[in-house]
Amino acid sequence: MPIQPIEPRRLYMQIADQVRSLIASGEFPPGSRLAAERELAKRFGVSRPTLREALIALEVEGYVDVRPGSGILVTMQQRSVPDASGEEGPLEILRARMVIEGEIAAEAAATMEPKDIAALEQILVLMKSEAGRVDADRQFHRYIVAKLENKVLLRVAMELFEKRDTPLARQFAIDFDCRKTWAAVLTEYRRILSALAARDPEQARKAMRHHLRKAHDRWARNLDRGTRASPVDGLRRFSPAGNTASSSGSVRV
């Protein structure tokens, strides 16, 4: 079964589909190794970051084991994870959030009062704690959206936010997030808070879009480099039992 050229629509899912088919057909039996990433990217006609996004999806599902420095091992130990065939990729979701939450921040800036700024400040204090940062992250975004008192926007924005808990997004966090990432996020949130405190819609829009763009670029850059967070940063790999990241490796943004 020859590898087919990929059409420019949700590329990583199309690549993952082809590799699954090749494994199922016996082209890549369990225990074998796939070609090197550079060669696979060339054969599929895509960038290496796109290929790595597909490999992460396949790793979450248990089809392959990506071992930095050792190659891509076919495992076929499929895990009990939800069907992700209709899921948007984490990078695609972040690009959507840039548009939506940027405008929400701009609208919310005009309605901010001292009590709101104090509440957001308290949320950022909680974010400094490893145990509370994941919940504080959610609270920060939700508080800003809730200021608009629009149930539709609140539902849409938070549904996108909660997609950080999909298996693929969790694997991105395990592979790429670390203490340095969270420190950068906190700095970006302070920039958003300053714009909101000044009741400056344009600066609030820019600050929120800047944060989500940086979040997007951090993951995309690591995909391009093929780097993964070190265990010393408090992260651990996705295990066959379905365990996910420790609190320091949970998905942020």
- Give residue 183's pLDDT: 87
CA separation, residue 51 to residues 12, 41, 44, 93 (Å): 6, 6, 8, 18
Q: How far, in Å, CA of 32 to CA of 148, rounded?
A: 54
Which tokens hold the place of 190? Answer: 């302070």
Whether residue 37 contacts residue 50, with contact meaning beta carbons closer than 8 Å, is answered with no
- Give residue 238's pLDDT: 32
- Give residue 245's pLDDT: 37
- Give residue 195's pLDDT: 97
Q: How far, in Å, CA of 212 to CA of 226, rounded?
A: 21
Domains and CATH numbers, the chain: 11-74 (1.10.10.10), 90-249 (1.20.120.530)
Whether residue 145 contacts residue 154, with contact meaning beta carbons closer than 8 Å, is answered with yes
Tens of pLDDT along the chain (253 residues) come to 556 554 444 677 788 888 888 888 888 888 888 888 888 888 888 887 788 778 877 877 778 887 766 788 888 655 544 444 456 677 788 889 999 999 999 999 999 999 999 999 999 998 887 777 888 999 999 999 999 999 999 999 999 998 877 666 666 665 556 678 788 889 999 999 999 999 999 999 999 999 999 888 877 766 555 555 443 333 333 333 333 333 334 445 5
Q: How far, in Å, CA of 159 to CA of 68, rounded?
A: 33
Which tokens hold the place of 205? Answer: 């829009």
